[in-house]
Homo-oligomer: A and B are copies of this chain.
């Protein structure tokens, strides 16, 4: 295997994994936490916060598959016999029953808090849960973008049996949240907002999925009001034969630098091996990709990245910038939360040359 020089840029935290399921309490006594992963990240009131995805299900019994869904806001457990010919459960993450797709776990978002960005605790704040008919299978993988006026914009995967779309909620104080509904219809995952308007409009990078033509590519859209989106254009495709050959999607909000908008993104190949890569977008016209790393920045090599609920996955949708140091948080093997840090200057140096 060719040595990947890019990975020497990144230093994983010695304390990894930072958060594991056993550190948290399930949200109900009859559920267990299967995974805590894919956190959004932000700074608020002098602390570093993660908005972690917590995936739960009942303790599984031999011969059946059980998973929770939300029915009028209440958790209801569905159980299917594994010998039922209508059941397809070959993927640990998903289930098909009689042609209808479900998920094996139900995810909510939980706030975890830290003073150093490494040691996180659960202060027991109210969780964010699926609301309404678009989110009966949960909410996942939330990006937190911070606007200049103090608003935190949460964009996440909203799931129900009708599909995966992008849901949005907005808060200023992390106590009250305004629900903006589904801002991008199915099938769409991985949406993060630019943290300032460009040419008078909000912009976001998102990941619609093509059927027949197209693929799991990265697109940009614009909005006058955050709630309604249009002017969609594809900005980056998968690269056949490379580590990001099968699907790509943005991490957290693009980072404004003198060289351009720095975008960390995930890419996966046909074997569902997820890595983190980087690209640079033109400052004035972010539809223009001006640089894209050949190799991934971060590949699943540590044991907690290779083995877990769904192995060989590094998925980052949260970062914090402290001076020149970028703290990158990520889900590892769809099981736990880990972190790494990187010098922004060094990263840009490699990306631009």
Contact of A210 (CB < 8 Å), options: B162, B181, B227, B228: B162
Q: Are A212 and B162 interface neighbours, CB within 8 A?
A: no
Interface SS of chain A: strand
Chain A stretch 170-229: residues in CB contact (< 8 A) with chain B: 180-188, 206, 208-215, 217, 219, 221-225, 227-229
How many copies of the polypeptide does the oligomer hold? 2
Please tell me if the beta carbons of A101 and B213 are within 8 angstroms of each other in the complex: yes
Interface presence of A164 (CB below 8 A): yes
Bound complex: CA A94 to CA B214 (Å) = 12
- Report yes or no: B162 in contact with A214, Cβ–Cβ below 8 A: yes
The residue from B103, B137, B213 contacting A137, defined by CB atoms under 8 A apart? B213
Taking a contact as CB atoms under 8 Å apart, the answer to whether B230 and A180 are in contact is yes
Q: Is the CB of A214 within 8 A of B237?
A: no
Contact B230 A182 (CB under 8 A): yes
Alpha-carbon gap, A214 to B96, bound state (A): 10
Collect the chain B residues with CB atoms within 8 Å of residue A227's CB: 230-231
Number of A interface residues at 8 Å Cβ cutoff, please give it. Answer: 51
Q: Are A210 and B133 in contact (CB under 8 A)?
A: no
Q: Once the chains bind, are B229 and A209 in contact (CB under 8 Å)? A: no
Bound together, the chains give a CA A213 to CA B101 distance in angstroms of 4
A101 to B211, CA, bound (A): 9
CB within 8 Å for A240 and B99 given contacts A185-B219, A211-B187: yes
Which of A94, A188, A211 gathers the greatest number of chain B CB atoms within 10 Å?
A211
A125 to chain B, nearest CB (A): 28
A134 within 8 A of partner (CB): yes
A203 CB, nearest partner CB in chain B, Å: 12
- Residues of B near A214 (CB, < 8 A) are 101, 160-164, 186-187
A208 surroundings in chain B (CB, below 8 A): 163, 165, 185-187
Q: Is A102 an interface residue (CB 8 A)?
A: yes
Contact A94 B213 (CB under 8 A): yes
Q: Are the CB atoms of A217 and B162 closer together than 8 Å?
A: yes
CB distance from A258 to the nearest CB of B (A): 28
Given contacts A181-B232, A231-B227, contact A163 B102 (CB under 8 A): no
- State in angstroms the CA–CA spacing of A137 and B217 once bound together: 17
Q: Assuming A133-B233, A206-B185, is B213 touching A161 (CB within 8 A)?
A: yes
By beta carbon, the residue of chain B nearest A213 is B101
Q: Do the beta carbons of A186 and B160 come within 8 Å of each other? A: no
**13 pairs, A vs B, C-beta closer than 8 Å:** A94-B212, A98-B240, A101-B212, A137-B213, A162-B214, A163-B217, A163-B234, A164-B214, A165-B208, A181-B233, A186-B214, A209-B209, A227-B231
9 closest cross-chain pairs (CB), A and B: A163-B214, A163-B210, A101-B213, A228-B228, A162-B234, A228-B230, A185-B232, A187-B211, A185-B208
